[in-house]
Amino acid sequence: MAERQPSWDKYEAAILLEGILASMKGELTRSDAVKAVSHDLRAMAVHRGIEIDAVYRNTNGISFQMKSMESAYLGRTVFKPATRLFTGVASLYHDSHDEYQKLLKEARAMIIDGKTVKDDFMRYLAEQVSPAQLSDFYICYSEIETFCLKIKVLQKPLFQTTDIETIKKVQRTIEQNKFFRITRRKQINKIVAAGRYYYNYIKEGLYSRIGIEETAVEESNTATQTFQPQHTHNIANDTMSKSVASEQSDEINSRSFSRYLSETLKMADATSRSYSSAINNCEVFAREHQLPSWQLYTSDRQAAQETIRLLLNDADFLSYNARQHNRFRAALQKFLMFIGAEPQQTVPTKADIDSASPYRNEGYEQVLREYFMKGFRMDSPLEIRKFKRYYTATHATELTDSDDDISNKIKQLCILYEGKAFLPDVMLSEDRKEELLDYIESAFADGKAAIYYQAIFAEFSDVFLDYHIHDADMLKAYLTSIGNGRFFINRSFISKTPDVSMDPLSEVRSCLQNFGRPATYDELFAALPHLPQSKIKLILASNVEFVNNGRSEYFHESIVHLSDEELDGIAEIIQRTIDERDFIGGNELYDAIRAKYPYIIEENHTLSVYGFRDALKAKLGDKFSFKGNIISRSGQEISMVDVFAKYARSHDSFTLSELQGLADSLATTIYFDTVYENSLRISRDQFVSKAAAQFPVADIDEVLDRICTEKYIPLPEVTNFGALPYVGFPWNSFLLEHYVASYSQKYLLLHSSFNGTECAGAIVKRSAGIGSFDDLIIDLLANNNQIEMKKAPVLQYLSDNGYLARRRYSEIESLIIRAKAQRQRKDTD
């Protein structure tokens, strides 16, 4: 352990100044800047051979010294007087910027010491976790990188990627990708935790000290550029520039406003639609109440501003707005930004003042915000001692409140979850909070009686990555605290009214409607943890309103929005095709709809062909019969077997390619058993009517007696057809196969299945007592000592000798075991 911390030098002071500059310019929060400087200076000390301990340049000390550097930079005492060293470095920054940049570059070289982002991150991680966790996490990063490179989420190795948006996608992938989670279910919690550490490392900008391409410190850079993380984004400037752009456009309407909200302000689609709709409501109110100016969606921006001014000073409108939980005023402020005008203020009502006067304690809040972003653990004497120490370091005055007073004040300031206290604005910023409440308000306005916490969490999962709401239960705690009468809190959902009762069927229905997209089993189980998983699966499988989208996904049929006119048009397509040939295939219908109504398919692009088809089944099931991928007249179900049977019976002649075309149009395989039952195959490519068969059975069987001298013979072994009597068609393997399968009185065809391009199997005497293909294989293996009784050699033998068309057979291993037993009994006898 280090005996005494060395005095500060000019290199450390330069790094400290960079931190204060980044904090003052808003590029990093004060807390993140303190962490970054502490990490840098501890790394610098290690590279300089200085022995460090847990106290050396830790965040408490950096926070204290940062106040001194702030005084030096501003030229006046703020909280702590500037030291001579700090004053000298600050003067260098102000008066001799080139010299300062040279000093900063030397300081950065001491931090980097030729290391990579990976090296730097591993040092950072080692300070956060135990050695055992460090070892486990190191393996996790390889798993993350391999998978994300494979699915193109990463374009280069993980530790060469410092773009925050890409790393956010990586974190979302490992948290939400079903295949990834299932295939790594035993270590998924460790992988997710490991990913979040790297996400936080990138988010806090700690990688910026490494001299890689994205963050290299060039001599020409300004001090601000040196410390600025790549993902820092000046939203205020961006929004202003795009607002000005909107001033240059004559298009001011509901659609363009909604597009501005979603594309420029990056608001959720549901929120954008809600705000756009709210402006329409404001226009209606202004017109109905005969305000002197009532237009908002107009190219006359001054008229729109005057309408907003009148509305925000109208008592009836303010009352109406209060009943709508401030929805209209929030929308109007965004609309002013859209048209490039300054937000307008109104005189707050008593209700505004009452609701805006919760308990505040800025001294406590600053400490909680800087040092307890991950929560303050309640009922912990150690945590209270830390709080007192941080309070003293932050405010340069001792905290005299008792432990009980500290706990009670923190409880009043914070939201409690799992024994920890979180500041509301740390859990979610004020802007994001309003976006969340607008989403909820919009959902209720759309007619939803309840919204599940899990569904809300899924909707805002990307947003929550940047804040401290980690799961649906934590979201419930947050909503419980900030709801303020806007909605009612239930066990797994919020509701618009207190009397909402959800039975299991209704809960599954409402949950899927809330998702508004196909949801996986895992998502439904997480959203409805109080319902047995088997019950959820039974409900999904037993009700036509729930549609299987494939990949273990389900959605509610109501998310497919079709007008009466569109439904009638689709019904007309179905009926016209049924009138022609009694049925229409699901894929054929999908293609016909895409041709006539391409926008319908585009709007439902998340649905599979089968999912979309079954959604139509829920809507048109009273008019047509739906069986698998076949749609027919109501009350006249037609199966796939029926389709192939009818096709074979109704054609005097058809080819294999025509048969394959039918199968392709129905997105299925050829039902060869049915085809063979209803037609006659006379060659590889040709089928004819069964009525064309003219087989002198006795004569043909007599010839087969001379060919098959044992119990059986492989079908491909018969190659000389000259002795067989003429039957109207030239003999070949396919015609012989069909004859033995359907007409012979003395022989059986035993095989795995009919095949489109090859004949395989055996011609077996009925008198042999071998009744199945499995029995044939067992007999063959038990009586042939030359075959090695292992899976691969057995399959190879069966394929080489024409018993199998391919080297695979699902039951082969169990058949080998039975054949071995039979061979052993034979040897014993």
**Residues near 448 by Cβ (< 8 Å), separated by ≥ 6?**
496, 510, 513, 514
Beta bridge partners of 584: 631
Q: Any idea what the Cα angle at residue 253 is, between residues 247 and 259, rounded to 5°? A: 80
Strands 519-520 and 493-495: unpaired
- In this structure, are residues 587 and 598 in contact, taking their beta carbons and an 8 Å threshold? no
| Amino acid (1-letter code) at residue 418 | E
Local structure of 416: helix, strand or coil: strand
- Whose tokens are 């398919």? That residue is 601
Helix (H) or strand (E) holding 13: helix 10-24
- In this structure, are residues 536 and 507 in contact, taking their beta carbons and an 8 Å threshold? no
Q: What is the DSSP string of 357-378?
A: -----HHHHHHHHHH-TT-EET
Q: E strands of 252-384, at which residues?
A: 376-377
What is the CATH class of 560-638? mainly alpha
- Rounded to whole angstroms, how far apart are CA atoms 128 and 125? 5
Ramachandran assignment for 492, one of left (phi > 0), alpha (psi -120 to 50 degrees), beta (any other): alpha
Q: Any idea what the Cα angle at residue 396 is, between residues 395 and 397, rounded to 5°? A: 90
Task: Calculate the dihedral angle through the C-alpha atoms of 230, 235, 238, 240, rounding to the nearest 10 degrees.
Answer: -160
- In this structure, are residues 570 and 562 in contact, taking their beta carbons and an 8 Å threshold? yes
pLDDT at site 188: 87
Structure tokens at 470: 């980690």
Q: What is the DSSP string of 661-717?
A: HHHHHTTS---HHHHHHHSEE-SSSEEE-GGG----HHHHHHHHHHH--SSEEEGGG
- In this structure, are residues 491 and 529 in contact, taking their beta carbons and an 8 Å threshold? no
**What is the pTM assigned to this prediction?**
0.40
**Gyration radius of the chain over CA positions:** 37
- In this structure, are residues 333 and 327 in contact, taking their beta carbons and an 8 Å threshold? no
Structure tokens at 572: 């007309």
Tell me where in the chain the CATH 1.10.10 domain(s) lie: 560-638
Helix axes 235-247, 327-338, angle to 10 degrees: 70
pLDDT at site 305: 87
Mean pLDDT per block of 10 residues along the chain (829 residues) reads 66 89 74 82 77 80 85 81 88 84 80 69 78 76 88 88 87 84 82 88 70 33 32 34 39 81 75 77 80 82 85 76 72 86 52 54 91 91 93 91 92 90 91 87 75 82 87 89 82 80 82 88 80 80 90 90 89 92 89 90 88 90 89 90 91 94 87 94 94 91 94 94 92 95 95 91 94 93 90 93 90 90 76
The phi, psi pair for 498, rounded to 5°, reads -75, -10
**Residues near 613 by Cβ (< 8 Å), separated by ≥ 6?**
586, 589, 590, 626, 629, 631
Local structure of 743: helix, strand or coil: coil
Q: State CA 439 to chain mean position distance.
A: 19
Task: Calculate the dihedral angle through the C-alpha atoms of 372, 472, 165, 132, rounding to the nearest 10 degrees.
Answer: 60
**Residues near 538 by Cβ (< 8 Å), separated by ≥ 6?**
none
DSSP 208: G
- Rounded to whole angstroms, how far apart are CA atoms 700 and 710? 17
Closest C-alpha among 95, 33, 117 to residue 69: 33
- In this structure, are residues 395 and 361 in contact, taking their beta carbons and an 8 Å threshold? no
- Rounded to whole angstroms, how far apart are CA atoms 111 and 48? 9
- Rounded to whole angstroms, how far apart are CA atoms 793 and 800? 10
pLDDT at site 258: 81
Structure tokens at 662: 């039918």
**Residues near 415 by Cβ (< 8 Å), separated by ≥ 6?**
421, 422, 423, 424, 427, 477, 478, 481
* 359 to 197, 355, 356, 664: CA distances (angstroms): 34, 11, 10, 69
pLDDT at site 578: 92
Count how many residues are written for the chain: 829
Edge-to-edge strand order for the sheet containing 488-489? 450-452, 493-495, 488-489
Closest C-alpha among 304, 282, 463, 252 to residue 260: 252
The phi, psi pair for 407, rounded to 5°, reads -60, -45
Q: E strands of 6-79, at which residues?
A: none
- Whose tokens are 């006067």? That residue is 357
